[in-house]
Amino acid sequence: MSRPYLTVLTTPVAPPATRLYRRARAVLRPLIKPGIPLPPVRPYPGHHAVVRSVVEGLRAIGADFNFNPMSAGQVGRVVYAPANEALSQAMNWKRDGRIDYLVAGPVNALFLDDCDSILLRPELDMIIAPSEWTRWFYREAPELDSRVRICPVGVDQEYWKPTVATSSSRVVVYWKSGEERFCEHVEQIIRASGLATVRLRSLHGEHSIFTPDDFRRALDGAVMSVFLSTFETQGIALAEAWAMNVPTLVWDPQGPAQWRGREFPSQSSAPFLTPATGVAWRSLDRFESVLRDALRDRDRFHPRAWVLANMTDAVCSNALYRIIRQGAEARRREP
């Protein structure tokens, strides 16, 4: 079997003995522990939203790639590893000459000194950043400038698809940052406009107090959504709302933000917000007029159409595939 051009790697390739043990365990498990299945296998190990979008998008465009191959002999000469354990293994392969080009990002590390400064390792040829403003995190390493490429991930436009027309007076409040009292003030303003609110609590990272199905049901038919977050490197949940054809009113304070106890200045809470998808606001005293204007002229927004043109799995993975191929080809031509 010929090797693909690209391998997306989020789980290290196990040595032969480990693979043999796993196969034997799968065969013997029904005999040793009948009725007790093996633990479920995650279909997209790593950052679920990122890995799922990349893999499904590459499949949709028919890219020459594979995903988490079983053996090292199936790994392509170009590797994209957005998970650190897999990236460390790929770095060893790069040093040994088994692969030619190595790509990481956007979720391997946020700060340069995260994860033993993994983004500064010389084996790394390219870093995918989720938006232009996130270059700020690499400001103290100008040698990375030539390695950084901007490419967001997409959303599944068939999963995030409205099933009913916009006819309700429901506004979804997506609360990720800020004091609860601030969120309550926002909700009071919405209700004073004659609208109902549905609050969904999220936390920075992959942790939410609701499921994707909960989010989709809340968005389906909603007239508007309000996002409260001090920063977003991309804003995948925003794209999910847009795919549901729900415009967003985004609190964008552009002030102090925190990630895992470290403070930094945020430059955006919605890097890909456009006039077609919503409006940004910075202070509570502006929110009422922004809400009123958005409701009065809601027909000016076309969020789902924007997503279909710019941020589906296939669109974003096509851009990623092109960026990686261009980088690898440029490296091949170097003397």
Instruction: Read off the CATH number of the domain in which 278 is found.
Output: 3.40.50.2000
Closest CA to 147 of 116, 108, 115, 114: 108
What burial letters (b/e) apply to 282-292, b meaning 16+ CB within 10 Å? eeeeebeebbe
Asked whether residue 164 is assigned to any structural domain, the reply reads: no
Residues 121 and 254 in one domain: no
CB within 8 Å of 225: residues ≥ 6 apart: 171, 172, 173, 174, 219, 241, 246, 247, 248, 249
User: What is the predicted pLDDT for the residue at 287?
Assistant: 98
CATH of the domain at 321: 3.40.50
Asked whether residue 161 is assigned to any structural domain, the reply reads: no
Residues 195 and 100 in one domain: no
* Residue 328 structural domain: 6-154+313-333
Residues 191 and 101 in one domain: no
Asked whether residue 38 is assigned to any structural domain, the reply reads: yes
Per the CB < 8 A criterion, the answer to whether 23 and 99 are in contact is no
Residues 118 and 17 in one domain: yes
Q: Is 255 helix (H, G, I), strand (E, B) or coil?
A: coil
Per-residue pLDDT of the chain (335 residues; tens, 9 = 90+): 689 999 999 999 986 655 555 565 555 556 676 766 656 778 999 999 999 999 999 999 999 999 999 999 999 999 999 999 999 999 999 999 999 999 999 999 999 999 999 999 999 999 999 999 999 999 999 999 999 999 999 999 999 999 998 877 999 999 999 999 999 999 999 999 999 999 999 876 555 678 999 999 999 999 999 999 999 999 999 999 999 999 999 999 999 999 988 999 999 999 999 999 999 999 999 999 999 999 999 999 999 999 999 999 999 999 999 999 999 999 988 87
Asked whether residue 160 is assigned to any structural domain, the reply reads: no
Residues 23 and 56 in one domain: yes
Q: Annotate 114-164 with DSSP letters as a single string.
A: GGGGGGG-TT--EEEESSGGGGGGGTT-GGGGGGEEE----B-TTTS--SS
Asked whether residue 129 is assigned to any structural domain, the reply reads: yes
CA distance 33 to 19: 20
Q: Label the pairing between strands 248-251 and 170-175.
A: unpaired
Count up the domains in the chain and report the number: 2
Residues 33 and 105 in one domain: yes
Q: Please provide residue 329's backbone torsions phi and psi, each rounded to the nearest 5 degrees.
A: -70, -40
Residues 211 and 304 in one domain: yes
User: What is the predicted pLDDT for the residue at 260?
Assistant: 87
User: What is the predicted pLDDT for the residue at 2?
Assistant: 84
Residues 175 and 280 in one domain: yes
Residues 80 and 149 in one domain: yes
Asked whether residue 236 is assigned to any structural domain, the reply reads: yes
Asked whether residue 1 is assigned to any structural domain, the reply reads: no
The H-or-E segment that residue 55 falls in is: helix 48-60
Residues 79 and 188 in one domain: no
DSSP label at residue 262: E
Asked whether residue 177 is assigned to any structural domain, the reply reads: yes
User: What is the predicted pLDDT for the residue at 147?
Assistant: 97
Instruction: Give the Å distances, CA to CA, from 275 to 280, 303, 306.
Output: 10, 9, 10
Per the CB < 8 A criterion, the answer to whether 228 and 251 are in contact is yes
Residues 190 and 130 in one domain: no
User: What is the predicted pLDDT for the residue at 301?
Assistant: 98
Residues 207 and 281 in one domain: yes
